[in-house]
Structure 1
């Protein structure tokens, strides 16, 4: 459950007070989601996702073109580019969370969006691999948007509307996943793709991967401008001047009942998402005979976009009613079963290609990719579990900052590790190049174990009892 930005007395807001309280008036619980605010927050989430995923269709080719890296070693360098983004996020994420709890959500959101717009546009100016790593790291500094968006959605929603709010949040993120690769694939090397339009522009010959970043950065800048004018502050101590209070300490939040188990579950789900996200573009790029799909950049962008669109459909249309019916915990348990099964499909599809059953592959691969995308409901589920366990409305920013800092630390290491394992397996043809997938399937099986410690408060089955008690 989430808080709704209401001001409580000092006694009610101490750091040991549970978030879910019976003092919420019924008419407040029935308050609908504020459309403009949710739209702005979802737009910010979409551009954040697009900015991150825009480079995926062409980053492997960019590494080869700008750095002269052999194809067999591309996975190693692409992993490091993504990992350094996450390392810098890890360093600053908790700072952004504390800053939003102390100074307000809106200023943090605006600063991060502006910084993201500038660094995204600058990435295409890289002329070697080390510049790519440096600029991607700088982009990670402004990754605080994801903390602030989650916090503001929590404060704009109620017990009854949180599932819908975070399904829209996840939908927007996957809309970014859908649009980002399309922008990257469509505008990468535009002088070669569209010589009649861009062939006479020398800048795009000198920097063939500049235009995707410029497009995405410009859109991000427009969203930043929109938040300045129309986004409302939601921090209780900023919206209610008579209740100025300091946020709970980090230590008091971490030792609150149930917080550590939920953080562990949140972290594990994020780990699986990061490993898969890092591995898939390299796997798509790897030649069929070495264990991959042998896709072109355009095909990579289309498949990643299909996955993003499919995830958006699952999250927007399936997750809210499913969560209300079976609870957050059971959604997570279903995803825990589906994850290793879904991962096992990828090497199976390579086997089909190696057997030259191309028609079977092109019929089944898009369908399986769309079905496999349903696992993305786990990410919305762990966010609801985190909201439910928050000890205080004033702790939202810090708790999300802790979660995002931990996941950024995992993402700083896991992509490079995963792509290195995969590259090692491909180079030495261990299990016909499928060694990386075997490792990932084994890791996925561990998610079910972590769910044994899911607190009852985060099971997500208390909406109906609260409704009946209030009537």
Structure 2
């Protein structure tokens, strides 16, 4: 599939890619900006009745509402893009996200938080369309390079989102002499970070409005009238009856021949038109193994990744006697930010070369295997901290190794999973629907994963199941299932050009 000759690689459409990646950046920023302040925001609505033990429950619902709404709408956006084009559907996302985020920041009731958080997720459901555009901008020579950039975009977003939320929330306390003097920000202490995210989304909308081109190629042939110039025939000037009859007969034959030629030409145009204009794909047409297996692989990766992501801060901040590392939220934030920034070059410079050298399936398999290291290292670090009594220098020294072998290597699974989904689409016209189904499945997995992980973590610790490490064992078993789906993926790719 992938050529090793760099000179034969199709040049990247850099401007179009940059615009699409900007749109994709809105998803992780909008999804994670609320994490630093959502607990306090929920408490301020009064829904907990002053009982802080209920905060996590209500905050978890708010956090999941985003991805749940995205899951329910992503297929609709994908099918709409197949019918109306990619560009108009993609433009609706950041515009709607901007308005919903502003309203979220101005909310004072828990019900309003739920409504506007869901609307955010619904408008973000068109993120699958952006992946369809990436597929249509690529071919078999550069698809690895293009899709390997997706993890980098997510890394940038999860750095920017919590940073914006943590620094700009509650400006009355953070910046009492400047922003804290603005009445609107005192009345709505969490509006400022939401406003910044809304501004970014609106900026990305205008950039896309000006620079984004329609990527869906539909060769619409215009049937033109062909004027057939028949060769000039000189007739005898003699006006005998025989000559007149002969001339009339010859003219009739020529006219018949011309009509047949025109009809044949029209028939060819109609056939070409039917061939060139493919009808939008239906959901039924993509429910085939070539599509469903890559989507299952991608969804399992999303389940493992989202679960691992929530288990890291949960394990790190849990006290040592309770089976954690006893680190502070500040330490966790610092670790995640440093890793996110350090991980950015890997997808750009390493993953495309690895795919060209070893193939997409091998790279995907290694990326999935890294989750075994991730979940295993969480349990191992907990055991080590428990044996010593605290997180000493050895624990701190092993944390970067854990992130290198699990988080960094794991990004290869995400980078290649989308390639298999695009490869499995039965036709170009089915890309939007295929990516929509993939995004819906992946988002559902991302919604379900954290709930399963946190519940299993509490259950394991409270009842000392498998020494308190049952949660890690369960996800390691799920990793083996994901590895099996990877081995069933095709070795060779279709020509995606």
Q: TM-score range by the shorter chain?
A: 0.7 to 0.9
Q: 1:356 aligns with which of 384, 390, 397?
A: 390
Q: CA distance change for structure 1 residues 327 and 192 in 2, over 3 Å: closer, same or farther?
A: same
C-alpha RMSD of the superposition: 3.1
Q: CA distance change for structure 1 residues 258 and 362 in 2, over 3 Å: closer, same or farther?
A: same
Q: CA distance change for structure 1 residues 211 and 36 in 2, over 3 Å: closer, same or farther?
A: same
Q: 2:13 aligns with which of 27, 30, 34?
A: 34
Say yes or no: does 1:180 pair with 2:161. yes
Which residue is 1:422 aligned to? 457
Q: CA distance change for structure 1 residues 306 and 431 in 2, over 3 Å: closer, same or farther?
A: farther
Q: CA distance change for structure 1 residues 140 and 35 in 2, over 3 Å: closer, same or farther?
A: same
Displacement of 1:383 after TM fit? 0.5
Q: CA distance change for structure 1 residues 201 and 364 in 2, over 3 Å: closer, same or farther?
A: farther
Which residue is 2:206 aligned to? 225
Say yes or no: does 1:264 pair with 2:296. yes
Q: CA distance change for structure 1 residues 76 and 446 in 2, over 3 Å: closer, same or farther?
A: farther
Displacement of 1:231 after TM fit? 0.4
Q: 1:59 aligns with which of 38, 50, 67?
A: 38
Partners of 1:70 and 1:352 in 2: CA distance: 34
Partners of 2:158 and 2:483 in 1: CA distance: 26
Which residue is 1:442 aligned to? 477
Q: 1:167 aligns with which of 143, 148, 162?
A: 148
Partners of 1:194 and 1:428 in 2: CA distance: 45
1:399-443 Cα offsets, whole Å, 9 max, x none, are: 000111122233343332332333344555656764433332332
Q: 2:120 aligns with which of 132, 139, 142?
A: 139
Q: CA distance change for structure 1 residues 363 and 30 in 2, over 3 Å: closer, same or farther?
A: closer
Q: Is the 8 A contact 2:152 2:343 kept in 1?
A: yes
Unaligned runs of 5+ in 1: 3-25, 467-471
Displacement of 1:157 after TM fit? 1.2
Say yes or no: does 1:301 pair with 2:333. yes
The DSSP-based 3-state class of the residue aligned with 2:161 is helix
What does 1:397-416 align with in structure 2 at a 5 Å threshold?
397-416=432-451
Q: Is the 8 A contact 1:285 1:296 kept in 2?
A: yes
Unaligned runs of 5+ in 2: 223-272
Q: Is the 8 A contact 1:79 1:419 kept in 2?
A: no
1:158-204 Cα offsets, whole Å, 9 max, x none, are: 11111111122331222112221221222222322333333323433
Choose 1 or 2 for highest CA Rg. 2
Which residue is 1:16 aligned to? none
Q: CA distance change for structure 1 residues 329 and 439 in 2, over 3 Å: closer, same or farther?
A: same
Partners of 2:307 and 2:54 in 1: CA distance: 18
Larger mean Cα displacement after TM superposition, 123-132 or 219-228: 123-132
Q: Is the 8 A contact 2:325 2:391 kept in 1?
A: no
Larger mean Cα displacement after TM superposition, 325-334 or 431-440: 431-440
Q: Is the 8 A contact 1:80 1:415 kept in 2?
A: no
Partners of 1:376 and 1:332 in 2: CA distance: 9
Q: 1:368 aligns with which of 402, 406, 409?
A: 402
Which residue is 1:254 aligned to? 287
Q: Is the 8 A contact 2:303 2:448 kept in 1?
A: no
The DSSP-based 3-state class of the residue aligned with 2:102 is helix
Partners of 2:37 and 2:315 in 1: CA distance: 14
Say yes or no: does 1:204 pair with 2:189. no
Q: Is the 8 A contact 1:79 1:420 kept in 2?
A: no
Which residue is 2:371 aligned to? 339
Q: Is the 8 A contact 2:79 2:433 kept in 1?
A: yes
Deviating beyond 6 angstroms after TM superposition, the runs of 4 or more aligned structure 1 residues are: 238-242
Say yes or no: does 1:88 pair with 2:69. yes
How many residues are matched? 438
The DSSP-based 3-state class of the residue aligned with 2:279 is coil
Q: CA distance change for structure 1 residues 443 and 205 in 2, over 3 Å: closer, same or farther?
A: farther
Say yes or no: does 1:315 pair with 2:294. no
Displacement of 1:235 after TM fit? 0.9
Which residue is 2:171 aligned to? 190
Partners of 2:467 and 2:220 in 1: CA distance: 59
Which residue is 1:12 aligned to? none
Q: Is the 8 A contact 2:71 2:125 kept in 1?
A: no
Q: Normalization by structure 2: what TM-score? A: 0.79
The DSSP-based 3-state class of the residue aligned with 1:232 is coil
Q: 1:44 aligns with which of 14, 23, 27?
A: 23
Partners of 2:426 and 2:42 in 1: CA distance: 45
Partners of 1:91 and 1:240 in 2: CA distance: 36
